[in-house]
Structure 1
Amino acid sequence: MTADELSIARAIQAGLIAGGAGLVTYLPDSRFAALEGLLEQDPRLRVVRCAREDEGVAVAMGAALGGLLPVAVMEGTGLGLCGLVLARARVQHTPLLLLVSHTDGPGESRPFHSTAIAASAAVLSGFAIPARALDDADRITDVVAQTLVTVATQRSIHALTLPGLVHTGDDQRAVTHATR
């Protein structure tokens, strides 16, 4: 893990806290590895590691019914498993933030990521879930926090994606996330 990857993970974590997230579910993913480690150690959040992405969304929905603002973190391929539970979330107006990796955008360096891109694009467009890429490191904390505010107040589902290439700092360097 690079210093820039850790910085991006910390920015996402700060946005989750500032936006009022109460529970985060995740299935381990290489792009979110630094974030997952930070979240597991953060006493301000309830964190649940899942066996499948649709399980994570279902647990997050249950947390929302219990009054917590939920976030589900997953790889784009796993979003393809979530159709039925996301349909229920839409019908119930369950607030939910999806943090998704390996979606359409620059920096996807492996040919097999095309499966994740296709699955995530189909689910997000099919359910009309607004999605925004976290491609500017300087704005990540604010974008995450404000998206959570929208999710909570509008009782809606939104997605934030973490592309393989994220611009950082004034020098316009870019972080290409490691892929295992």
Structure 2
Amino acid sequence: MPLLAIVYFSISGTTETLAHAVARGAAEMAEIALCRIVGDDIVAGRFRNARLVETIDRASAVAFGSPTYMGGPAAQFKAFADASSDRWSQQRWASKIAAGFTTGACAGGDQLHTLTYFSILAAQHGMLWCGLDIPGGEDPSGRNRLGSQLGLATHLVDGALPQSDLITAEYLGQRLANMVGRNDRVGAMRSTFSPSP
């Protein structure tokens, strides 16, 4: 089974709840590595957790998660992203499938900017982006409640994540795992039909 690394920072537990929902959605089709960024990973302002980065090296897919703070990802997530530049210079994560999820204080709390940041980070690494294919406001079960096609954006309602957002997170995990399977099959077909050197 392919490995899905879910790399996230969570301070209050909300983003962690989303990370676990993404994992549930992918669990039947992928091995899951929950990679939580913690304060001890940041030393003198620099992310230092070689084991977490090596997990991404082995993964076929990565889901990035962070709360949206002041219009972007948390500083702890950004420290991880900055430290990934060693992998970027070698394009070690190229062709992996990537997706993103975030939560904010308000429905219009600039979560899209965090998702855009994740997609640009993925593009820098040569990764392939997986968004949501659920038209916002059109799903009978209320998935993709805030209507973000780039990834999962949510916010707390009465102090809790809406069930529809947790279902959307599960769907994002399932979609990501499905795309890994398709990508692997295409890669296998290409190697079968590649002319000999």
Q: Please tell me the TM-score bracket, short chain as reference.
A: 0.3 to 0.5
| TM-score in terms of structure 1 length | 0.42
Indicate the structure with greater helix content.
Answer: 1
Q: Which has the larger radius of gyration?
A: 2
